[in-house]
C-alpha cells in the first residue's frame, strides 16, 4: 500500500493517521515509513500511548512525540517489530510466526480507522474530488464539504472526536488493545490493568531485549 503513518509532533491526543505517499509531511508532523495495518494498530494501542507519554517531552501542557525516545525504544510484540514487518508491504506473510494474532490486530486497526474516517468525512456531508492536474501527478482524492455543510465538516477533527470520545470509539480502541495484549502474551490483560503495570512490563521487555543486543 502506497502510504505511511503520521502523527503530529505536539498534540493533546496521541493520534496516528494514514497519509498517501504523495503527501509531503510538514516539519511538525512525524512520518513513520510503515504501511501495515498491524504497525498502525500497535502504535495506536494503549501500550504505545503510555510509553510515548512517559518517555516523550512536552510543549507547555501538550505531549511531544520524540521518535528517538518514543518510537525507537518501544518494545513491539515479538515477531511484529518494524524490522520484522519491513518487507510485508501491507500483507501478512504465511510464514509469520504470529500470523493469527497479527491478522486480529490488522482487522481491529482497520476497523478503528474506517470508523474514524466515516465520522470525519460522512458521505452525506462530503464528496471526494480531484482535478485532472492533481490526478496526473498522482495526488489522491481530497474531501470537500458539500454546499451547506462547510461548518459541519470544519468541526469534524480528530481532536474534537477524542475530546468527546464517544462509546463506539472507546469500544474500538479497547478491541484493538485486547488484540495487541494477546500479541504480547498478556493473557491477564483487562482494560482495568493499571498504567504502571503496563509500563513495568514494557520496560522489562525493553531491558531484556537490550541485554541481548
pLDDT tens across 137-194, in order?
888 999 999 999 999 999 999 999 999 999 999 999 999 999 999 999 999 999 999 9
Q: How confident is the model at residue 90, as a pLDDT?
A: 65
Beta bridge mates, 128: 143
SS3 content of the chain, % helix, strand, coil (to 5): 45, 15, 40
- Contacts of residue 105, Cβ cutoff 8 Å, sequence gap at least 6: 37, 38, 41, 42, 80, 176, 179, 180, 183
Beta bridge mates, 142: 129
Distance of CA 5 to the CA centre of its chain: 7
In this predicted model, what pLDDT tens digit does every residue of 92-136 receive, in sequence order?
999 999 999 999 999 999 999 999 999 999 999 999 999 999 999
> DSSP 3-state assignment of 127?
strand
Cite the beta strand spans of the chain per DSSP E: 3-8, 17-20, 29-32, 57-59, 62-64, 126-129, 142-145
pTM score, whole prediction: 0.93
In this predicted model, what pLDDT tens digit does every residue of 56-96 receive, in sequence order?
877 667 889 999 999 999 999 999 999 998 888 767 999 99
Amino acid at each position: 500500500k502506497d502510504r505511511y503513518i503520521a502523527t503530529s509532533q505536539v498534540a493533546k491526543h496521541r493520534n496516528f493517521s494514514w497519509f498517501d505517499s504523495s503527501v509531503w509531511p510538514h516539519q511538525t508532523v512525524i512520518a513513520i515509513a510503515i504501511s501495515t495495518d498491524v504497525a498502525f494498530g500497535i502504535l495506536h494501542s494503549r501500550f504505545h500511548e503510555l510509553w510515548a507519554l512517559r518517555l516523550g517531552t512536552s510543549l507547555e501542557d501538550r505531549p511531544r512525540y520524540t521518535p528517538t525516545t518514543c518510537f525507537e525504544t518501544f518494545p513491539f510484540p515479538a515477531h511484529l517489530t518494524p524490522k520484522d514487518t519491513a518487507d510485508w508491504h501491507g500483507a501478512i506473510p504465511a510464514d509469520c510466526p504470529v500470523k493469527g494474532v497479527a491478522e486480529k490486530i490488522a482487522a481491529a486497526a482497520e476497523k478503528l480507522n474506517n470508523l474514524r474516517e466515516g465520522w470525519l468525512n460522512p458521505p452525506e456531508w462530503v464528496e471526494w474530488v480531484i482535478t485532472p492536474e492533481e490526478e496526473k501527478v498522482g495526488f489522491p482524492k481530497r474531501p470537500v464539504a458539500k454546499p451547506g455543510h462547510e461548518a459541519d465538516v470544519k468541526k469534524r477533527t480528530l481532536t474534537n472526536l477524542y475530546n468527546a470520545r464517544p462509546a463506539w470509539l472507546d469500544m474500538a480502541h479497547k478491541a484493538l488493545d485486547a488484540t495487541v495484549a494477546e500479541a504480547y502474551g498478556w493473557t491477564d490483560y483487562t482494560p482495568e490493568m493499571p498504567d504502571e503495570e503496563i509500563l513495568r512490563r514494557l520496560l522489562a521487555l525493553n531491558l531484556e531485549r537490550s541485554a541481548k543486543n
